[in-house]
A and B are shown apart, each in its own frame.
Chain A
Amino acid sequence: MKDDVVIVGAGASGAAAAWKLASAGLRVTCLEQGGWVDPADTPSLRPDWEIARQTTHHPNPNVRQGPADYPVDDSEAAIKPFLYNAVGGSTILWGAHFPRFRPSDFRVRTLDGVADDWPISYEDLAPWYEENDRIMGVAGLSGDPGNPPRGPRQMPPVPPGVAATRMARAFDRLGWHWWPCDVAINTESYGEGRGACNNCGPCDLGCPQGARSATDVSYWPMALRAGVRLITGARVFEVETDAQGRATGVAYLDAAGQVQRHRAAVVALAANGLGTARLMLLSRSKRFPEGIANDTGLVGRRLMHHPTGMVTGTFADAVEGWRGPFAVSILCQEFYETDPTRDFVRGYQMQLIRSDGPVGTAVGGYLPRVPWGPGHHARFRQVFGHTASLTVTTEDLPRDDNRVTLSATLTDANGIPAPKMTYSLDDNTRRMIEHGIARATEAFTEAGAVDITPQRLVANAGFHLLGTACMGADPGASVVDARSRAHAVPNLVILDGSVFTTAAALNPTSTIQALALRAADLLIRDRKGIEVAA
Chain B
Amino acid sequence: MSAALLLDTLLPGDEAFPPGHVVAEALAAHDRFGPALERILALLPEDFASQPPEARVTTLAAIEATHSEAFSALVLAAYSLYYTHPKVAAVLEASTGYRAGPPQPGGHALAPFDPALLAIPAVRAPLYRPTPEAET
Contacts and interface: CB of A to CB of B under 8 A. Distances in A.
Contact of A200 (B84, B108, B125, B134): B108
Contacts of A509: none
A55 interface: yes
B107 A111 contact: no
Given A143-B118, A159-B112, A359-B83, A377 B128 contact: no
B127 A45 contact: no
Contacts of A178: 121
B51 interface: no
A334 interface: yes
Contact of B12 (A47, A143, A200, A376): A376
B72 to A, nearest CB: 8
Interface size class for chain A? 35 or more
Given A111-B131, A177-B127, A44 B103 contact: yes
B104 A200 contact: yes
B127 A362 contact: no
B98 A322 contact: yes
Interface in A327-368: 333-334, 336-338, 357-359, 361-363
Interface stretch (A102-110, A275-283, A306-314, A462-470): A102-110
Interface string B100-125: 11111111111111110110111011
A196 B96 contact: no
Nearest to B61: A373
Most chain A beta-carbon contacts within 10 A, residue among B76, B84, B131 = B131
Contacts of B130: 103
A372 B75 contact: yes
A143 B122 contact: yes
A110 B121 contact: no
Contact of B131 (A103, A143, A147, A196): A103
B127 to A, nearest CB: 6
A424 interface: no
A49 B89 CA distance: 13
B113 A385 contact: no
A530 interface: no
Contacts of A143: 118, 122
Contact of B103 (A49, A51, A337): A49
A74 interface: no
Given A110-B132, A376-B10, A359 B84 contact: yes
A199 B108 contact: yes
Contact of B121 (A158, A179, A362): A179
Contact of B133 (A102, A121, A201): A121
Contacts of A416: none
A377 B12 contact: yes
A198 B118 contact: no
Interface in A387-419: none
A526 interface: no
B104 A208 contact: yes
A322 B80 CA distance: 17
Given A198-B107, A377-B13, A147 B80 contact: no
A324 B109 CA distance: 9
Contact of A179 (B79, B118, B132): B118
Interface string A136-179: 00000101011110000000111110000100100110000111
Given A359-B79, A374-B57, A148 B105 contact: no
B79 A104 contact: no
Interface in B24-81: 32, 57, 60, 72, 75-76, 78-81
A157 B113 CA distance: 6
Contacts of B129: 102-104, 111, 337-338
B9 interface: yes
A31 to B, nearest CB: 30
A117 B87 CA distance: 58
Contact of B113 (A50, A146, A158, A359): A158
A46 interface: yes
A374 B12 contact: yes
Most chain B beta-carbon contacts within 10 A, residue among A143, A156, A171, A209 = A143
Contacts of B78: 372
A83 to B, nearest CB: 20
Most chain B beta-carbon contacts within 10 A, residue among A106, A322, A333, A361 = A322
A199 B107 contact: yes
Contacts of A123: 133-134
Contacts of A160: 113, 117
29 contacts: A44-B103, A45-B102, A45-B105, A47-B84, A47-B101, A104-B129, A104-B131, A110-B131, A122-B131, A141-B113, A141-B118, A146-B127, A159-B110, A160-B117, A178-B121, A187-B113, A198-B108, A199-B108, A199-B109, A200-B107, A357-B83, A358-B83, A369-B79, A370-B79, A372-B10, A377-B11, A378-B14, A381-B95, A385-B96
Given A44-B102, A198-B108, A359-B79, 19 more contacts: A45-B102, A51-B81, A102-B128, A103-B131, A110-B132, A111-B131, A145-B121, A145-B122, A145-B125, A159-B112, A198-B104, A208-B104, A318-B96, A333-B127, A357-B98, A363-B75, A369-B79, A372-B60, A384-B98
Interface of A: 42, 44-51, 54-55, 102-104, 106-107, 110-111, 121-123, 141, 143, 145-148, 156-160, 165, 168, 171-172, 177-180, 187, 196-202, 208-209, 318, 320, 322-324, 333-334, 336-338, 357-359, 361-363, 369-370, 372-374, 376-378, 381, 384-385
State the 5 A-B residue pairs at the shortest beta-carbon distance, nearest first. Answer: A198-B107, A200-B103, A200-B107, A358-B83, A362-B79
